[in-house]
């Protein structure tokens, strides 16, 4: 089992019994998501924004316009942190204090660089697209060179990370378990609904197999 070493940067302090540094488990959290939350500093102000990403091995890929304020700030800092979180259930306890949620959460730390080589940029964007939906890249038109030139692509190397997972029921005070109060879980999940074609020609076309595959895999 490969694990990230613990340090002051990535060590989980509160609820450390729910922490994991296992690389495979952390990657499974990243692969189950598509949106990460990134923090950066702009003109002395701390800002956090969501952003779509792609992952391959220990690399995270982000892209935006060449004038993207967040990506440029991260490049100036030469490092970044990103958090991905999945909400799995509401935990309804017998007292307000012990209400909670079940979740899977991974936080990454690493160095970043700007991809300049056109082939590297294209491979990074392929990774991004495949992370969104496998098979999609081969079904769309090739990028124009001017589109590639206008796109800023960032590669993060994950140097360390940690995850925190809660997947249990209510944890009430011992004396509360006999109270006449309902307690339990309300499971939550994100699902795909049936694909809706865009206006024009797609309305007359069959839905591609890779799109239907994604729907069937994620509809419930």
Mean pLDDT, 10 residues at a time, the chain of 220 residues = 92 91 97 96 93 97 96 95 98 96 98 96 96 95 93 97 96 95 97 96 94 94
pTM (two decimals):
0.92
The answer as to whether 9 is a domain residue is: no
The pLDDT assigned to 132 comes to: 96
- Is residue 1 assigned to a domain? no
Domain interval for residue 195: 191-220
Predicted local confidence at residue 182, as pLDDT: 97
Identify whether residues 210 and 177 lie together within a single domain. no
Q: Could you tell me if residue 36 is inside a domain?
A: yes
Q: What is the 3-state secondary structure (H, E, C) of the chain?
A: CCECCCCCCCCCCCCHHHEECEHHHHHHHHHCCCEEEEEEEECCEEEEEEEECEEECCEEEEEEECCCHHHHHHHHHCEEEEEEEEEEEEEECCCHHHCEEEEEEEEEEEEEEECCCHHHHHHHHHHHHHHHCCCCHHHCCCCCHHHHHHEEEEEEEEEEEEEEEECCCCCCCHHHCCCCCCCEEEECCCCCCCCCCCCCHHHHCCCCHHHHHHHHHHCC
Query: Looking at the structure, do residues 185 and 200 belong to the same domain, yes or no?
Result: no
Number of domains in the chain: 2
Q: 177 lies in a domain?
A: yes
């Amino acid at each position: 089992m490969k694990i990230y070493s613990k340090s002051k940067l990535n060590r989980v302090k509160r609820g450390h019994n729910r922490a994991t540094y296992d690389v495979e488990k952390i990657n499974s959290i990243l692969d189950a998501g598509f949106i990460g939350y990134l923090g950066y500093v702009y003109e002395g102000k701390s800002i956090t924004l969501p952003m779509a990403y792609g992952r391959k091995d220990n690399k995270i890929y982000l892209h935006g316009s060449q004038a993207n304020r967040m990506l440029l700030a991260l490049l100036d800092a030469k490092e970044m942190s990103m958090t991905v979180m999945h909400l799995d259930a509401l935990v309804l306890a017998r007292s307000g204090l012990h209400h909670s949620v079940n979740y899977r959460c991974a936080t990454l730390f690493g160095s970043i660089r700007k991809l300049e080589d056109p082939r590297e940029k294209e491979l990074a964007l392929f990774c991004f697209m495949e992370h969104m939906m496998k098979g999609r890249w081969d079904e769309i038109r090739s990028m124009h060179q001017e589109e590639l030139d206008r796109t800023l692509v960032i590669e993060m190397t994950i140097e360390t990370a940690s995850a925190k997972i809660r997947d249990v029921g209510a944890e009430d005070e011992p004396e509360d378990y006999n109270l006449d109060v309902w307690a339990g879980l309300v499971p939550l999940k994100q699902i795909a609904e049936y694909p809706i074609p865009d206006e024009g020609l797609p309305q007359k076309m069959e839905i591609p197999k890779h799109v239907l595959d994604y729907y069937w895999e994620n509809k419930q």
